[in-house]
Amino acid sequence: MTHSIHGWLFLDKPYGMSSNKALQKIRSHFGRPKGGHVGTLDPLATGFLPIALGDATKTIPYLEKAQKTYTFEATWGEQRTTDDKEGDVLSSSDVRPTPETIIETMPCFIGDIYQAPPIYSAIKMGGRPAYEKARRGEMPQMEKRLVVVHNLSLIETTDKTALFQMTCGSGVFVRSLVRDMAIAMGTVGYVSKLRRVQVGPFLEKDMVSLEKILEIQGGSGVKDQMHPLDVVLDDIPVVVLEDDLCFRFRFGQRILFDQMHLPVSRGDVLCRDQSGKPVGFAEVEDSVLHPKRLFNY
């Protein structure tokens, strides 16, 4: 494989593997192109992990803010150090919330809510991940952050567990949500299963397993599984540049337009050439197109 690979792979991240480990395996298989991923999944979580390779990494910010949907299982009766089943038991409770209690509590966790990230998380504190302090036996004070939960639904329950589905904005910790819901119901709990099933408009059916990705050999195999780098850019206004303007754009030159020929008066746009190929991002200001980030593939 060569470094001339640019696009998105929608990985179904396997259980027990960190998001970064999955990314590095894929990069290594394709000759170590530039790479990145959207939305870290814990090792014990599975599901949708968007992987950007090559120039697709320049489009990562446009997917990072997308809504995400998870299914997850909460187990009641134990508080654990990591707020998931990997951690040590800190405390226990005999209280098991009924389905009615869960349904009554859920509205408190929908909309704009404040939550403190788990101490075992990658949130930076003093330039270092919080989990490093936690592993040293320290108890980092995690500041509450405002996040948004768009919807939360109860799928099924047992005596000890409850299965939920949630759609939320970026920055929501499912482990924190389960921890806080349990406390609100007079008990303790942790996440025992977690799967991301959707990112933005992309669904579970769009995912591909790591094994299948690592079986790819040759250009045709890559094409079958990889999405073009602009697949995440459907919501961005587009400016189509004629050949001479495209040439100037690639050299970073500002371009003056008649305002009637621009889709916005201010803000970011995606520039394409006459064939429809994306050539880069620009910022529009006072009818002037300012090149911002170019694609080099």
The structural domains of the chain, with segments of one domain joined by +, span: 7-66+201-232, 77-187, 238-294
> In CATH, which of 3.20.20.70, 3.30.230.70, 3.30.2350.10, 3.90.226.10 is domain 7-66+201-232?
3.30.2350.10
Is residue 192 within 8 A of residue 35, CB to CB? The reply is: no
Say if 7-66+201-232 and 238-294 have the same CATH topology: no
pLDDT of residue 134: 67
pLDDT of residue 1: 46
Residue 248 pLDDT greater than 90, yes or no: yes
pLDDT of residue 126: 67
pLDDT in tens, 23-41: 999 999 999 999 999 999 9
> In CATH, which of 3.40.50.300, 3.50.50.60, 2.102.10.10, 3.30.2350.10 is domain 77-187?
3.30.2350.10
List the beta bridge partners of residue 49: 11
pLDDT of residue 108: 97
Known catalytic residue: 159?
no
Residue 273 pLDDT greater than 60, yes or no: yes
pLDDT of residue 4: 79
Q: Looking at the domain covering 238-294, what would its CATH class be?
A: mainly beta
Instruction: Indicate the pLDDT class of residue 218, thresholds 50, 70 and 90.
Output: low
pLDDT of residue 224: 79
Kindly name the residue from 42, 83, 84, 230 that is annotated as catalytic: 42
Residue 234 pLDDT greater than 50, yes or no: yes
